Amino acid sequence: MGMKGSPICADNSFTGKGKVKATWRVVLFLVVFPLLLALSMLLGPSGIGIPDLQSPSGSAILSLRFSRLLMGMMTGAALSASGVVFQALLRNPLAEPYVLGVSGGAGLGATLTILAGSGVLVTLSLPVVAFVSAVLTLMVVYGIASQGSSGQPSVYSLILSGVIVSSICSSIVMFLVSTASVEGMHNVIWWMLGSLQPVTASQQLLSAGLIFAGLGGIWLLSPQLNALALGREMAHYQGLRADVVIVIGLLFATLLAATAVSLSGMIGFVGLIVPHVMRALFGPDHRRLVPLAALGGGTFLVLCDAAARTLLAPIEIPVGVVTALAGGPFFLIILQRRMKQAWIA
């Protein structure tokens, strides 16, 4: 902010000389993130380092770590990309799946499914039910926010009604948990705390399919997301089917958030902060931002999970705690330094 008065700002990250710098930053990120993922494979409650691959327990540990890495990549990528889209479509830095009630709705759907029992069919229907209930919640939120306005609801009424609906959803979840059987209660609470305990292979496969579909869809939309940065009206004037893009974008983002919730429960922070940090580092062009935010969100969650299972081993800290505790200060520093590139209000 202090640079405001300078004739040409010192750090033109995305054009001219700055463009080169930003490109280097992308290259650096693409080199570093696999290294960080590899590092997470070395961490676990059984010790730091490569486990003895000769022994059956060693290879089991490695494969367990690998499947948690997959879980983390999927969940983190989905949450982060979903946050990018919500922020772009609502043009508001506070927008994310939690604020709009999408996660809450997905959570309610997932809770009902978990309490309904276990078995292959139930776990497979988990992401689908979560998606459907998240979409329904979004429709309710939109409906409430539209009351009394002529045409489009304002972002503020959307966020306000999102917060209200979200807390109603979580109250219902609490009620369901308190009246459930001991086993059901245990299942739901464990899931709700948010963890990257691997789910069944079939559920992982289905979730991976949904998340890839969501990410691909959003990436294809990214030129339109750029145009929507100037608002729905301006995008319309420039020849976009703005309302169609908004609806499709919201559906894809909801699909991603719901799948992430059904996979790993309620993990906060990733969907809100990672998009901001990635925007600060790599600029707001969504064609670049969407894939980078997905990779960044995934890597971040994988690292947090590695820390969560290692730090107090054999006790495992809920990963959501680590995302906020470790990520918070780190991201605050980045945002402080590059506030201007992140979001200028």
Partner 1 sequence: MEQDALTFKNVSAGYKQRRVLDNVSFTVKEGEFVSLIGPNGCGKSTLLKTAAALLKPLSGAVELFGQDVQRIKPAVRASLLGVVPQKIDSPMAFTVSQIVMNGRISSMGWWGTPSSLDHDLVERAMIYTDVLGLRDRFFTELSGGEQQRVALAMVLAQEPKIIMLDESISHLDINHRQEVLQILMNLNREKRMTILLVSHDLTLSAGISDRFLLMEAGTLAKAGTPAEVLEPELLSRVYDCDLTVQQDPYTGYLQVSGAIESLRRRRKLEKSVHVIAGGGSGIELYRRLLIEGYEVTTGVLNRLDSDAEAARALNIPVVLEQPFSPVGADAIAQAMEMILRADTVVLSQVPFGSGNLVNLELAEEALKRGKTVLLAVGIGERDYTEGKSAVDFAARLKHSGALNWHSIHELMAQLQQQLPH
Residues that bind partner 1 (CB under 8 A): 4, 8-9, 12, 14-16, 18, 88, 91-93, 150-151, 220, 222-224, 226-227, 229-231, 233-241, 279, 283-285, 287, 340-345
Question: Closest by alpha carbon to 300, among 30, 75, 50?
Answer: 75
Q: Please say whether the beta carbons of 172 and 108 come within 8 A.
A: yes
Measure the CA–CA gap between 79 and 49, rounded to whole angstroms.
29
User: Hey, what are 332's tokens?
Assistant: 């605050």
Measure the CA–CA gap between 5 and 48, rounded to whole angstroms.
50
Minimal distance in Å, beta carbon 243 to partner 1? 10
CB nearer partner 1, residue 263 or residue 281 = 281
Minimal distance in Å, beta carbon 205 to partner 1? 29
Question: In the chain, count of helices (H) and strands (E)?
Answer: 13, 0
Minimal distance in Å, beta carbon 125 to partner 1? 34
Measure the CA–CA gap between 250 and 232, rounded to whole angstroms.
14
User: Hey, what are 40's tokens?
Assistant: 């997470």
CA-only gyration radius of the chain, Å = 21
CB nearer partner 1, residue 237 or residue 330 = 237
CB nearer partner 1, residue 239 or residue 314 = 239
CB nearer partner 1, residue 1 or residue 315 = 1
Minimal distance in Å, beta carbon 15 to partner 1? 5
Minimal distance in Å, beta carbon 16 to partner 1? 5
DSSP state of 153: P
CB nearer partner 1, residue 88 or residue 192 = 88
Contacts of 274 (CB under 8 A, 6+ apart): 76, 79, 80, 83, 293, 296, 297, 300, 331
Coil, helix or strand for 227?
helix
CB nearer partner 1, residue 91 or residue 186 = 91
Minimal distance in Å, beta carbon 4 to partner 1? 6
